[in-house]
């Protein structure tokens, strides 16, 4: 097993990285009336404070804030991790983003760039998959026929981001709806903790997304 892992490190990981790198898209090529920006869990509890806050997530704030500022008029969803006293998710991830605390709030850096509130919806979620939040299901009922492209950013790349985008893609596939789901590599991130290596887990999750029909790009050029 150890020899296999060594070989995997040398060959497979570099091949995976090559497959997901080297492509950019330009924001001007998206029609604002048919495009949604989805921001996953950029809350204080994953960025600035609390058990699961990570400096790695801070590294994508500027990229997401710039994208947010330059997408006025687009439909936008901000998923906000939020849990009650007895959330079963605490058994897996520890107590975090508890309802009523500042951990559940959108980070100040993104609040400052939220100027067009008519097109923005804030959706609290109690699981690692925002697709199942009741407010998102309602939003989908109202928007799924008109939105053709979903640009998804945020954290954690290997948990809440991948769960959402793969579920969304398979939902559309089941209905035979050809929708684009785009994840820019420079605007998603995950944490380092113990055996959870952020670089490795991010790479594996992006590759997994690609294998499920998600478009992985280096950057969306503004």
Rounded-to-integer distance, Cα 63 and Cα 153, Å:
9
pTM > 0.85 = yes
User: Is-contact 89 83, C-beta < 8 A?
Assistant: yes
Q: pLDDT at position 14, please?
A: 87
Q: pLDDT at position 95, please?
A: 83
Q: pLDDT at position 52, please?
A: 87
The string of pLDDT tens digits covering residues 90-143 is: 888 878 989 999 999 999 999 877 766 778 999 999 999 999 999 999 999 999
Find where tokens 């959402």 sit: 164
Buried b / exposed e over 74-88, threshold 16 CB at 10 Å, is bbbbbbbbbbeeebe
Given a cut of 50, whether residue 79 has pLDDT beyond it is yes
The set of residues, in sequence order, having a beta carbon less than 8 Å from that of 183 and lying 6+ positions away, is: 151, 152, 153, 161, 165, 206, 209, 214, 215, 216, 217
Average pLDDT, the chain: 93
The string of pLDDT tens digits covering residues 11-56 is: 788 899 999 999 999 999 999 999 999 999 999 999 999 888 999 9
Indicate the burial class of 22 (C-beta count within 10 angstroms; 0-12, 13-18, 19 or more). exposed
Q: What is the largest CA-CA distance in the chain?
A: 56
Architecture, CATH, for domain 25-221: 3-Layer(aba) Sandwich (3.40)
The string of pLDDT tens digits covering residues 168-185 is: 999 999 999 999 999 999
User: Is-contact 124 65, C-beta < 8 A?
Assistant: no
Which residue has better confidence, 205 or 90? Answer: 205
Rounded-to-integer distance, Cα 81 and Cα 69, Å:
22
Confidence band, pLDDT 50/70/90 cuts, at residue 10: low
């Amino acid at each position: 097993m150890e020899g296999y892992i060594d070989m995997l490190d040398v060959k497979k990981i570099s091949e995976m990285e090559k497959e997901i790198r080297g492509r950019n898209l330009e924001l001007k090529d998206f029609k604002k009336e048919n495009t949604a920006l989805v921001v996953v869990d950029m809350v204080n509890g994953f960025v600035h404070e609390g058990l699961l806050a990570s400096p790695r997530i801070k590294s994508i704030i500027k990229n997401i804030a710039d994208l947010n500022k330059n997408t006025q008029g687009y439909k936008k969803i901000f998923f906000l991790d939020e849990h009650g006293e007895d959330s079963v998710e605490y058994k897996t991830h520890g107590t975090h983003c508890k309802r009523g605390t500042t951990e559940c709030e959108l980070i100040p850096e993104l609040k400052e760039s939220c100027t067009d509130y008519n097109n923005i919806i804030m959706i609290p979620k109690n699981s690692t998959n925002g697709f199942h939040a009741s407010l998102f299901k309602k939003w989908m009922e109202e928007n799924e026929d008109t939105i053709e492209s979903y640009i998804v950013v945020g954290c954690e790349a290997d948990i809440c981001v991948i769960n959402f985008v793969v579920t969304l893609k398979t939902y559309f596939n089941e209905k035979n709806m050809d929708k684009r789901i785009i994840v820019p590599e420079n605007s998603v991130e995950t944490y380092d903790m113990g055996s959870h290596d952020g670089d490795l887990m991010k790479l594996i999750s992006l590759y997994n997304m690609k294998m499920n029909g998600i478009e992985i790009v280096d950057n969306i050029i503004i």
